[in-house]
């Protein structure tokens, strides 16, 4: 097939190289033409025969093979997407500094398509200022660097640095390919997203909660990663697996969400409050389980107000020009209530959803109207939550502060 999307799968020398086999399988099975370019050290972990057999194509690591075909230029130029998984600290450093001493690093210099790096390394290496700066440089230039996952590392260590699940990396690749060439519009930006629903504890076994599934917030996180952003996802009680590429902060209550949000927005270009935050919490928390007393009427439940986080974020804006986006769940007079809420909260954009037992909450699809403080109104027809997420970023991107 002539028009299959061409993907270069770069593999650097880390133990996680074996997981790239699964990514390769997914890419080929979904109709991509994949050229695997391992580094010489990657071949210590998974051999040439495996890459060749799984991709159905020859495999080369250095620029001196088939020199007349100029593979170091051709491979990168022809690619629709380059993904490096795993990307070691060494590979990230070379890419950030434009070094080109093998076929993969040459390919990275000649590629003009979206480039995805999926790093995997020990936590100390990931956190070292040298790696942090290299990652920031690559992101600033438009590369998508997915955040490593947290968990068991090689040996007995655990921490941040695991290669994300190959299925998640595949999703990032699929979205980056769909968006095509050109610098991703959120490259070099930090965006903060809250997702899920807060739970306000009454006693050790009970809480006041809501029906939010977190799917919309997760869709916002995934699409922002694919558009090149550094993403902090503040997650409340969703039970969903962490999306690849996002820094995930887990919270339970509205007060915890507020603390996490205020911290995360300190250097953020945009914040999207997709979480359903409880307006009230029980006035008192019983440290022991509340028992019913035979024959007695239940004690009335006393509630106190939670802070309005969205209104606070709209007022604070520690980064000048920071874009603040809210969601409004409404059951009646949807647009009128939405407009009033936009003014009351002081945010730039408000995504207004009509909710009901079968509508929006928990569903994979939704419809919405996005109201802008400057008067704009964007109708998003019924469709996947990812499409709504992309529309939100389409509206956020031109409003971002100058970088």
What is the number of other CB atoms lying within 10 angstroms of the CB of residue 213? 21
Beta bridge partners, 368, equal 353, 380
Q: Report the phi/psi class of residue 332: left, alpha or beta, with left for phi > 0 and alpha for psi in -120 to 50.
A: beta
Nearer to ligand CTP, 15 or 372 (CB): 372
**What is residue 150's three-state secondary structure?**
strand
Q: Which of 308, 348, 354, 386 binds ligand CTP (CB under 6 A)?
A: 308
Residues between 231 and 270 with contacts to ligand CTP, criterion CB under 6 A? 254
Q: Which of 24, 326, 349, 391 binds ligand CTP (CB under 6 A)?
A: 326
CB-based contacts of 165, cutoff 8 Å, min separation 6: 149, 241, 244
Would you call 210 a catalytic residue per the annotation? yes
**What is residue 231's three-state secondary structure?**
strand
**DSSP assigned state of 276:** B
Annotated catalytic residue within 134, 210, 237, 306: 210
If binding is defined by CB under 6 A, does position 309 make contact with ligand CTP?
Answer: yes
**DSSP assigned state of 105:** H
Tell me the C-alpha distance between 132 and 135, whole Å: 5
Structure tokens at 342: 């936009």
Structure tokens at 367: 């419809």
Nearer to ligand CTP, 244 or 395 (CB): 395
Nearer to ligand CTP, 88 or 306 (CB): 306
Span near ligand CTP by CB under 6 A; candidates 106-114, 303-311, 361-369, 374-382: 303-311
Q: Which of 60, 306, 360, 391 binds ligand CTP (CB under 6 A)?
A: 306
Residue 298 CB, shortest distance to ligand CTP, in Å, is 25
Q: Which of 45, 327, 361, 393 binds ligand CTP (CB under 6 A)?
A: 327
Nearer to ligand CTP, 95 or 329 (CB): 329
* Residue listed under structure tokens 């954009």: 349
Q: Which of 310, 349, 370, 371 binds ligand CTP (CB under 6 A)?
A: 310
Nearer to ligand CTP, 187 or 271 (CB): 271
Nearer to ligand CTP, 273 or 369 (CB): 273
CA separation (Å) from 201 to 59, 259, 262?
57, 17, 22
Residue 289 CB, shortest distance to ligand CTP, in Å, is 27
Q: Report the phi/psi class of residue 31: left, alpha or beta, with left for phi > 0 and alpha for psi in -120 to 50.
A: left
* Total residues in contact with ligand CTP, by rule CB under 6 A: 13
Q: Which of 17, 225, 275, 395 binds ligand CTP (CB under 6 A)?
A: 275
Q: Which of 229, 328, 370, 371 binds ligand CTP (CB under 6 A)?
A: 328
CA separation (Å) from 396 to 34, 267, 269, 300, 307?
34, 16, 10, 44, 25
Residue 73 CB, shortest distance to ligand CTP, in Å, is 49
Tell me the C-alpha distance between 292 and 295, whole Å: 9
Instruction: Cite the active site residues.
Output: 210
Residues within the interface to ligand CTP (CB under 6 A): 254, 273, 275, 277, 279, 306, 308-310, 326-329
């Amino acid at each position: 097939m002539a028009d299959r999307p061409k993907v270069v799968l770069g593999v650097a020398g880390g133990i996680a190289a074996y997981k790239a086999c699964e990514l390769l399988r997914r890419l080929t099975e979904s109709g991509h033409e994949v050229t695997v370019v391992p580094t010489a050290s990657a071949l210590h972990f998974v051999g040439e025969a495996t890459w060749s057999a799984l991709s159905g194509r020859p495999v080369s690591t250095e620029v001196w093979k088939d020199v007349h075909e100029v593979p170091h230029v051709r491979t990168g130029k022809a690619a629709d997407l380059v993904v490096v998984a795993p990307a070691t600290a060494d590979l990230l450093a070379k890419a950030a500094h434009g070094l080109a001493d093998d076929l993969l690093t040459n390919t990275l210099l000649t590629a003009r398509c979206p480039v995805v790096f999926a790093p995997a390394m020990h936590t100390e290496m990931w956190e070292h200022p040298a790696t942090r700066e290299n990652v920031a440089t690559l992101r600033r230039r438009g590369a998508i660097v997915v955040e490593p996952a947290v968990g068991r590392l090689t040996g007995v260590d655990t921490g941040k640095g695991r290669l994300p699940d190959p299925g998640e990396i595949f999703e990032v690749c699929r979205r980056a390919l769909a968006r095509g060439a050109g610098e991703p519009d959120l490259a070099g930006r930090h965006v903060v997203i809250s997702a899920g629903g807060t739970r306000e504890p009454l006693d050790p076994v009970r809480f006041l909660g809501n029906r939010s599934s977190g799917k919309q917030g997760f869709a916002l996180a995934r699409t922002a990663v694919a558009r090149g952003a550094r993403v902090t996802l503040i997650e409340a009680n969703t039970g969903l697996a962490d999306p690849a590429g996002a820094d995930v902060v887990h919270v339970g209550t509205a007060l915890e969400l507020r603390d996490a949000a205020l911290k995360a927005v300190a250097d953020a270009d945009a914040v999207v409050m997709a979480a359903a935050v409880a307006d009230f919490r029980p006035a008192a928390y019983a440290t022991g389980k509340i028992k019913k007393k035979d024959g007695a009427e239940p004690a009335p439940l006393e509630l106190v107000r939670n802070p309005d986080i969205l209104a606070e974020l709209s007022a604070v804006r520690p980064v000048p020009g920071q874009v603040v986006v809210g969601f409004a769940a409404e059951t009646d007079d949807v647009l009128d209530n939405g407009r009033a809420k936009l003014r009351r909260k002081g945010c730039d954009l408000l995504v207004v959803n009509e909710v009901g037992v079968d509508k929006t909450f928990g569903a994979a699809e939704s419809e919405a109207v996005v109201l802008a403080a400057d008067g704009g109104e964007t109708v998003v027809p019924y469709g996947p939550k990812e499409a709504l997420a992309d529309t939100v970023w389409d509206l956020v991107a031109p409003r971002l502060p100058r970088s």
